[in-house]
Every structure is written in C-alpha cells, then in structure tokens.
Chains A and B, each alone.
Chain A
Amino acid sequence: MIEVAMEALRVVLDPSRILYIFLGVAIGAFIGVIPGLGGTVGMAIVLPFVFGMDPFTGMALLIGMIAVIHTADTFPSVLLGIPGSAGSQATIVDGYPLAKKGEAARALGASFTASLLGGLIGGIALFLAIQIARPLILSFGSPELLMLSLLGLSMVGVLTGKNPKLGIGAGLFGLLLGSVGAAPSVTEYRYSFDILYLQSGIPLPILALGLFAFPVMVDLVAEKQGSIAKEAKIGSGIFKGVKETFQHKFLVFRSAVLGAIIGFVPGLGGSVVDWISYGLAKQTEKNTENFGKGDIRGVIAPESSNNAKEGGGLIPTLLFGIPGSGTTAMLLGGLTLMGVQAGPRMLDQDLDLTMSIIWTLILANIIGAIACIFLAKYISKVALVQAEILVPILLVILTIGAYQSTRHWGDIILFFAIGIIGWFMSRLGWSRAAVLIGFVLATPIERYLWISISRYGSGWLTNPGVIIIGILITLIVIGSIVMARREKAKGGPTIG
C-alpha cells in the first residue's frame, strides 16, 4: 500500500500534472468565489476537457477543482453574508458579523487554515477508509441510513436556539419543500401543479441562494449603511486568524472527522455538513454566548468540516460507484470518459489511480488555501464597496447563478419567490438553516423509511446500528432542550 502511495506521489508530482492541479485549483477558486456556482457547475465546465486525457491528469484537474471550492466559497460568506456555495452557509453566522466589525481578515485567515487542515484530514480519512471501505459500506443498510438522516434532522433543535418551536416548524416547512416533485418510490408527483419544471423538484442551489443571499441584498439596500464593513478597514489579522485556528486544533479535528463521516454516508447530503458541525461546536464548546455575534470558533468548525467531507464523499463514489452528491455523480461520468469504471477494482487494478486522487486532494487543499490567504488582502476590499454599487452587480451574478441550476426560466421565478420567503424569515428571526436541513433530508428520509418498512416490516427497529444512532438522536434532542432553556434565561440570540 505504502509503495503504491509513493509511486502515485511521483506520478502526481510530474510537472505536467502539477500544472493541471494548479489549473483545477484556479477554476475551483473562481467558482467558489461566485455565489450560486458550486461543484456541479464546475464539473459541467471542466468535464468536456477531460475527454482523451489520461486518468491521472484528468483527475488532477477535476479533484484539484473540487478540493478548493469549499476553501474559496468563504469569501462571499464572510465578506458579503452570502453563501459562496451550498456548503458554506454556516460560516456566515459568525463570519459576517466579524467582517462588519472590521475583522474580515482575521475571519478569512482562520477559515482558510481550517479549510486546509480539514482537507488534509479528509484526505487521510480517505486513505484509511479505503482499506476497510467494503465492510463499512455494506454495514449501512436502509434502516441505518434512515437513522443517520434523522440524526441530521435532530440538529435542527440545536441550531434554533431559544425558539425550538419555530425551529421545528421551519424544519417541517423544509421537509414539505423537499417533497415537491416526483416521489422517490412510486410514480407520484406532489405539489407540481402540472408544471413540468416542478416535477424534478426545487433545485438546491436556488433554495440556498433564495434563503440566504436574497435577504442580504434587500437589507443592504434598505439599511443604507454605506458598505458592509461599518469601519472602513478590513483589518490586518490574517495571521492572527491562522494562529487561532491552530489554538482550536481539537475543534478542527472533531469537525473534520464529522465532515468526513457525513460525506461518506451516501445520500445524506454534504450540503448540510456545515450546519451540523456548527451546531455540534455550539453544543460542545465552552463559553458559547458569543456564537452568532462573531465568535471565531463559529467560522473554524464549519470550514474544517466542509473541506473534509470531499475526502469522505469520494469513498462510496470511487469504490462502489454510488455518488453522494451531484458533484461526485458528475465525477463518475468524468471517470467513464477517461475509460475508468469506478468500483471494487479501484482497490486493486486501479489502486495507483486511487492513491493519486488522494495526493491530489491533499496537494490541492494546500495550494488552494495558500493562494486564498495571499489573495485575501485584495479580495476582501469588496466589503468596503458602497452598497448602491455592490447590490446591483451582486443581484445580476446571483440571478445568473440561479439560472445555472437547470437553465429554465422557472429558476429565476423560484429564486425571487424563495428569496421573499427568506427575507420574511430573516426579519422574523425564523431559522432558515432548519428549512435547508429539512429540505435536503426530506428525500432520503422518505426513501429509506419506505424501503425499511416494505422490506423488514417493523423488525428493523431492533437492529443494533439503529438503536445506537437512536440513542445519539435522543441525547442531541435532550441536549438542545436544555440549551434552549439556558439561552432563554440569558436571552441569547437566535442563529441561522
């Protein structure tokens, strides 16, 4: 194994391949910075070019791109309060207040370092997991996957602070939105009103942009505060942020491991991993009264986990050909274009390719983070631009980003409709994160519940895995009730 790994490193370090990693990193950073564009768009742009490349070079390009999207997508989250991609929403909660206080550089420094470390841990997780991946994946049947989805849903309580009832309501609303379109198990269309566009359901990027980006636009214009940073400085604390991340190394490690695990579970949806790790950080850290007002740990936790999830997500994708997200689904297509079929043979015949993917992931994370730290000084000036100038430009970019989802005019209508709902919710202090989590988990919950019951009746309830995850869920729910009481007593803020 080690020999193959060293040989693969030599292959990856070949000057021509390093060049492609740099190219991938550059494309990924660009796509990450633009709100609304995420991994799927990046793949769609790059995929046509990999045809005819040898798999090592092609994967250097593709993995290089995927690896840094969640590093660079922090820029808009911190500087503008707009998610750069569906995986960086939780960063806003503390990152944006930091930028408003004039500490954007500190937040970015911490976030890029967390991304770097998270990506490394994700790569190592991939390396360790490929040795036991088969029994690991085969032990997650539909009942266990159902319970994991419910575990994700139970985080709603943690995220909604002192208003658990509103949070549960928002989560249910998200579940309802997630049920729009074709049912997973029978040919039944729900809430599609005979409109073909709605038959495929609401696209995730549209929901994320509408809920989180649109309200910011309205507020920026309405508040007439001039620019985002109230003090006309972005701070010089990049390396202060870097240092702080290393001070919170256990938080980084915890969040990254969590990210890799969530990424590994197929269908659980890496797009809520940031919220889940934010919620867990809030619940397990001490002195959390500043969370939501600009606590650096609120930036470190989600950023460590969203880079780590890419490593975890590649395990089922490469070894079983079952993609966990739209991005990895397209990655599979790219592999086929280069003449490689994902599957068990990635562990023997194509082990060298698998190893080179791990190295690429690690190298791209390092290159991407260093590049972002270097660029932060320049890009963060965006926070100083007057809102009257910034908002129209952003609105155009967001609308184009939304339109990229399916390139149907329905995308734009839906973006504005969900945007207005999102604005009301942000004004009323209702949790939008809960809506998103409900939305993402609606389909897997319905799918696995249906399959579990029709296959096993009620017998699955006594599976050991089901019981263990069930206990975890109970603990989290009790924990969040206790936390809500405490916060109510203190009058802490509602986040998300």
Chain B
Amino acid sequence: MKRLILLLLVTLSSILVLAACGDNEADADSDENYYSGENIETVIPYDAGGGSDVLGRYVAPFLSDHIAGNPSVQVTNIPGAGSVIGMNEYFGLRDADGYSLIWSSGSTITNHLLGTEGVNYEFSELTPILGVPAGGVVFISADIGYEEPADILNVDPADLVYSGQSATGLDLVPLMSFDVLGLDVQALLGYEGSGPARVAFEQGESSLNYQTTAAYLSSVEPLVENGEAIPLYSFGHFDSDGNIIRDPAFPDLPNLKEFYEEVYGKEPSGEIWDAFEVVASRGFTIQKVLWTKNETPEEAIRLLQEGAENLAADPSFVEDGEDVLGGYEPVVGQELVDLIASIIQPELDPDIEAWIFDYLAENFGE
C-alpha cells in the first residue's frame, strides 16, 4: 500500500513539475500580444468556390503566418444577394474587436454605388488591411473585319454583339466603355457566368466579350494566338491621384483612354467619361479588399496592417498565388489607404450618381 502511495506521489509531482515547465516555457515567449492564441474570422460574402472565396482561402494561412502572435485564421462564407447579405451581417452583427474581418469585391462596390435596396454598409466606416487589384480586357472576334483601332467605327454595327452576365455587375464597365467610344453595341445579357459568356463568344453568338486578367490569360490568349480573337483595350488602372494608367498586367495593351485617342485623335471627355472613370476605378483598380471596422482597437489595426505588409513582402505569397492573384501584387500600407481614400470611400458626386442611374434605366430597363 505504501508503495502505491509513493508511486502516486512521484507521478503527481512529476506531472506538476512538467506542467510548471510548460508554463515557464510559455512565459519565456515574450511575444505575447493581442492576437496570441486567438482566432480571426474572415467573412467572405460569396459562395464557396468563387473568385473571392478562392482568394480568401489562399490568403488565410499567410495571414496566420505573418500576423504577430500567429492567430489561427478561419474563413466563413455568408453568400447571397451579390454580397449584400454578408456585408450587412458583418456590419450589424460582428464586433469591432479585430477578430472578425471581411472581404469585399466588385459587386459589393457596385451594389453600394448603385444604392441597391437593402444595402446597410458604408465603406467610410471600414479600415482597409489588404487589397488585391484586378483588371479586365475587352476583345473582339476576328471574323468581323477589325484590324486596328480606327476600324472599330467602320464595322457593321449589326455585327457588334456583347455577351455578359448582368448590367448591374462588373459588366457595367465594358458596357459603359462602348458608350465612351460611341459604339452601338447590342448587349446580350443573362449568361450564367463569365465562362458561359466567353463560350458564347467562341460559338459566334457574340462578337465582343471581356474577361478578367486571370481568365483572359488562360482562356482568351490561346484564341488570340489562333487568330480567332483580337484584344482591343484594358480598362486601365488608376493611381491615387485618380489618373488612368496602363494595367500593369498588360503593359503592351492600350487602356481605354489611349484606345479612344487612337480612334478619335483627342482625349475622351464629358459625363460618360467621368462616369466610366468612377465605375472602372472602383470595380477594377483595387477590386478585392480585406477590411476591419474603424472602431477596432488601435493595437489590433497596427498588427493587422503590419501583418499584411509582411505578407506582401513574402516572395512565396506572390509566386504560389499567380493564378489566384491574377498576376498582380497585393497593395498594403499607406499606398492602400491612399488608393481607397481617393477611389472607394469618397462620397459619390450626386450628378454622376444620377447620370449612372439614368444610364441604367435608359439602356437596361432597370
């Protein structure tokens, strides 16, 4: 019996010692901070498997590695109503504690821009952590006699048919670009996604189409090489002063402004051009943004932004994610804050807003 008690005592004490050692070890780790041992939830207001979801899931482990304290980073999908449901839920129900972040994307911005019913979120109440650019290229069928920019005014207008998804999504940008160029294009909308819209182009159901950078590189470039499609222009990117520049993924392709100049020999101007700049810059320059709420504790915001900067400096982030990032480098830090402040957060000029509404009502019967 005595022996048994002794054995128990020895076991117990050794467990205690071991436990104490464990504690000491943790104490010795002086990097304890806001995020040590915590969870971060990143809300994706889209279905699993879509572009935003893939990006969010790709970024999550890198965030966990690069934010001090190595919090675990989880992804939550709250899809519905073109990201409005997820954005509203984040805005209304999540605490501003830095443990819950949200990804926005193109339709988050267009829905807000167009004042879609049910929108309960404001970009001015959010602080950006990480931004990923996107771009788009408009291309034309080689069958309708187009060779150089000036030809675009001479092709038979009956041949100009555009295939896309919906006038209130990102298709708004190419559709407005046709009006900037003064082209009379029939818009064939309602395809199930950008993939089917491209197949319609390949079938000859349409002669004009646009694809975002990653899809263009993988699916349209082969068509261009076969001589079936000809790229026209990219939508361009915008710097933090609001000037249009070439899309960094397509340094050899003119942006819409340059294309216009080649066709007409002068700069584009007027209400339609102003409206295009507003919609294109918000839809494409910084398309997907990871946000936290403004009221998040300062320490948390600092750690998140530092984490994002470390992530952007990690060469394997860009290398491994070529397809996910669409060939662009992430934007972080002050550069991101400036771009967001000049592009996404400012109040929209009421004249331009009214103009876009009239434009949609007139052309697409909304």
User: Is the CB of B242 closer than 8 A to any CB of chain A?
Assistant: no
B190 and A185: CB pair below 8 A?
yes
A196-B81, A200-B79 known; A341+B214 contact, CB < 8 A: yes
User: Is the CB of A288 closer than 8 A to any CB of chain B?
Assistant: no
A451 and B188: CB pair below 8 A?
yes
A267 and B205: CB pair below 8 A?
no
A138 and B80: CB pair below 8 A?
no
User: Is the CB of A254 closer than 8 A to any CB of chain B?
Assistant: no
A48-B57, A187-B168, A196-B85 known; A333+B49 contact, CB < 8 A: yes
Query: Within the assembled complex, what's the spacing in Å between the Cα atoms of A407 and B78?
Result: 8
A199 and B324: CB pair below 8 A?
no
Write the nearest CB–CB distance from B176 to chain A, whole angstroms: 16
A344 and B49: CB pair below 8 A?
no
Contacts of B48 in A (CB 8 A): 40, 43-44, 47, 330, 333
Query: Within the assembled complex, what's the spacing in Å between the Cα atoms of A245 and B192?
Result: 38
A344 and B222: CB pair below 8 A?
yes
A408 and B366: CB pair below 8 A?
no
User: Is the CB of B337 closer than 8 A to any CB of chain A?
Assistant: no
User: Is the CB of A334 closer than 8 A to any CB of chain B?
Assistant: yes
Contacts of B365 in A (CB 8 A): 186
User: Is the CB of A385 closer than 8 A to any CB of chain B?
Assistant: no
User: Is the CB of A3 closer than 8 A to any CB of chain B?
Assistant: no
Contacts of B88 in A (CB 8 A): 196
Contacts of B218 in A (CB 8 A): 321, 341-343, 345
A178-223, CB < 8 A from B: 184-188, 194, 196-197, 199-200
Contacts of B203 in A (CB 8 A): 138-141
A267 and B49: CB pair below 8 A?
no
User: Is the CB of A23 closer than 8 A to any CB of chain B?
Assistant: no
Query: Within the assembled complex, what's the spacing in Å between the Cα atoms of A445 and B81?
Result: 22
User: Is the CB of A22 closer than 8 A to any CB of chain B?
Assistant: no
Query: Within the assembled complex, what's the spacing in Å between the Cα atoms of A451 and B190?
Result: 7
Contacts of A455 in B (CB 8 A): 161, 188, 205-206
Write the nearest CB–CB distance from B65 to chain A, whole angstroms: 12
User: Is the CB of A19 closer than 8 A to any CB of chain B?
Assistant: no
Query: Within the assembled complex, what's the spacing in Å between the Cα atoms of A194 and B81?
Result: 12
Stretch at the interface among B121-129, B135-143, B193-201, B277-285: B193-201
Pick from A47, A407, A447: contact of B57, CB under 8 Å:
A47
Query: Within the assembled complex, what's the spacing in Å between the Cα atoms of A51 and B321?
Result: 11
Write the chain B residue with the least CB distance to A332: B49
Query: Within the assembled complex, what's the spacing in Å between the Cα atoms of A140 and B203?
Result: 8
Contacts of A331 in B (CB 8 A): 49
User: Is the CB of B271 closer than 8 A to any CB of chain A?
Assistant: no
Query: Within the assembled complex, what's the spacing in Å between the Cα atoms of A336 and B365?
Result: 36
User: Is the CB of A414 closer than 8 A to any CB of chain B?
Assistant: no
Write the chain B residue with the least CB distance to A40: B48
A186-B365, A196-B118 known; A51+B192 contact, CB < 8 A: no
Contacts of A408 in B (CB 8 A): 80, 85
A47-B57, A200-B80 known; A322+B205 contact, CB < 8 A: no
B80 and A186: CB pair below 8 A?
no
Write the chain B residue with the least CB distance to A145: B196
Write the nearest CB–CB distance from B202 to chain A, whole angstroms: 6
B205 and A141: CB pair below 8 A?
yes
A197 and B54: CB pair below 8 A?
no
B280-325, CB < 8 A from A: 320, 322-324
Query: Within the assembled complex, what's the spacing in Å between the Cα atoms of A323 and B195?
Result: 9
Contacts of B84 in A (CB 8 A): 196, 199
A307-334, CB < 8 A from B: 320-323, 326, 329-334
A44-B48, A185-B166, A344-B222 known; A51+B57 contact, CB < 8 A: yes
Query: Within the assembled complex, what's the spacing in Å between the Cα atoms of A342 and B47?
Result: 19
Query: Within the assembled complex, what's the spacing in Å between the Cα atoms of A329 and B77?
Result: 15
A194-B117, A196-B85, A266-B196 known; A343+B49 contact, CB < 8 A: no
Q: Can you report 24 residue pairs joining A to B where beta carbons are below 8 Å apart? A: A43-B48, A138-B203, A139-B203, A141-B205, A185-B166, A185-B190, A187-B366, A194-B117, A194-B118, A196-B81, A199-B118, A200-B85, A320-B199, A321-B215, A321-B219, A337-B324, A342-B218, A343-B218, A344-B222, A406-B79, A407-B78, A408-B85, A451-B191, A455-B188
Kindly list the 5 A-B residue pairs having the minimum CB-CB distance in the complex, ordered from nearest: A185-B190, A330-B49, A333-B49, A341-B218, A322-B195
Interface on B for A, CB 8 Å cutoff? 47-50, 53-54, 57-58, 61, 75, 77-81, 84-85, 88, 117-118, 161, 166-168, 186, 188-193, 195-196, 199-200, 202-203, 205-206, 214-215, 217-219, 222, 320, 322-324, 364-366
Q: A186-B364, A322-B196, A451-B205 are in contact. List 11 more A-B contacts (CB 8 A).
A: A141-B200, A187-B364, A194-B117, A266-B196, A320-B195, A337-B58, A337-B324, A343-B219, A451-B188, A455-B161, A455-B206
